[in-house]
Amino acid sequence: MAKLPKAFYCGADVISIARQLLGNVLVTRIGGEITSGMIVETEAYQGVTDRASHAWAGRRTDRTEIMFGEGGKAYVYLCYGIHHLFNIVTNQKEIPHAILIRALEPIQGIGVMLRRSGKEKPEHTLTSGPGSLSRALGIDRRLHTGESLTGKNIWIRKGKRTLKTSEIVASTRIGISYAGPDAYQPWRFHIRGNPWVSRAKGLDPGEKIKGRPTTRLL
DNA sequence: CGACCGATCGTCT
DNA sequence: GACGATCGGTCGA
C-alpha cells in the first residue's frame, strides 16, 4: 500500500489536509511490530494566527521548533505529564501548521495494541482520543518527534477509498477554551457515524453559543 | 447520565 | 511555580 508522499504534507491549506487525512491509515513499526488504524478524527492548528496553536504569535521554543520545519514530520508532545499527543506538521518551512490526530479505528496489530494499553478487549477507548491512540500505537515523544512520515518507523498509508464530502463532519476543537475567538473555529473533523470517534464529553463552556451550532455538515 | 477530581511532568513564565 | 490540544475513576441524581 502506498504511503502518502511528502508533497501531500507540504500543502498550504492545513484545513484541507486535515479533512483529506480522514480515511487514511496511520501505521507504526516498533521493534518489528506493526500496528495501524484508520484516521477517523483530526484537528487543524493554524500556526501563528491561531490562539489554540503552540506556535501562536510565533512562539518558537525547543518544544515547538519542529513545527517550524517542513511538513511531513511528526510533532509529539507530552500533555498533562501523561499523554503523548501525535501531530503531523504541514506546510513549508517557517509556517508552523499542524494536525492533531484524535482517533483511529484499529486495523492491524490489535493484540499488540491491547498489550500496550493494558486492555483485554478492543473496546472504544483503545484508540479513541489522542492520548489513547498514542498508547496503543506505541507513539512516544522521545521516539517519534521529528520522525519523517515517509520513513520506516511511522507513516500514513492511503486508504481504500476517498470519502464523500457528506461523510465528513466539522465541529469545534476539543479542550481549547483558553483560545478565545479561535475556540469557535470549526477545525475539528470526523467521519460521520464512525463509532471510534472520540466522545466530546460535553462542549467546553466557551463553546456553548446561542444560535450557533457547534457541529455542522460541510 | 453529568460533574468532579487526581495523576504526573515537561515546558514556559 | 503554574498549567496543560487527556483519561479513567468515583460519586450523586
Per-residue pLDDT tens over the stretch A168-196 = 999 999 999 999 999 999 999 999 999 99
- For β-strands A168-171 and A215-217, DSSP reports them as antiparallel
Within a 13 Å sphere around the CA of A62, how many CA atoms are in the beta-carbon half? 0
Give the rounded percent of residues in chain A with a pLDDT score beyond 70: 91
B chain positions with any atom within 7 Å of a protein CB = 2-4, 7-13
Count the helix, strand and coil residues of chain A and give each as a percent rounded to the nearest 5: 25, 30, 45
Q: Which residues of chain A have pLDDT under 70?
A: 201-218
- Nearest Cα neighbor of A197 from A39, A43, A35 is A39
Question: What per-residue confidence (pLDDT) applies to A201?
Answer: 53
Residue A38: strand pairing partners:
A25, A105
List the A84 CA – B7 C1' distance (angstroms): 14
Q: Is the CB of A126 under 7 A from strand C?
A: no
Contact A147, A168 (CB under 8 A): no
Neighbours of A66 (CB within 10 A): 20
Residue A178 burial class via C-beta count within 10 angstroms: exposed 0-12, middle 13-18, buried 19 and up: exposed
Cell 481549547 found at: A176
Residues 33-92 of A with CB under 7 A from strand C: 43, 45, 52-54, 78-83, 85, 87
As a whole number of angstroms, the distance between CA A26 and CA A36 comes to 5
Q: Is the CB of A29 under 7 A from strand B?
A: no
Identify, with chain letter, the residue nearest to nucleotide B8 (CA–C1'): A81
Q: Is the CB of A68 under 7 A from strand B?
A: no
Question: What per-residue confidence (pLDDT) applies to A199?
Answer: 85
Question: What per-residue confidence (pLDDT) applies to A1?
Answer: 74
Q: Is the CB of A98 under 7 A from strand C?
A: yes
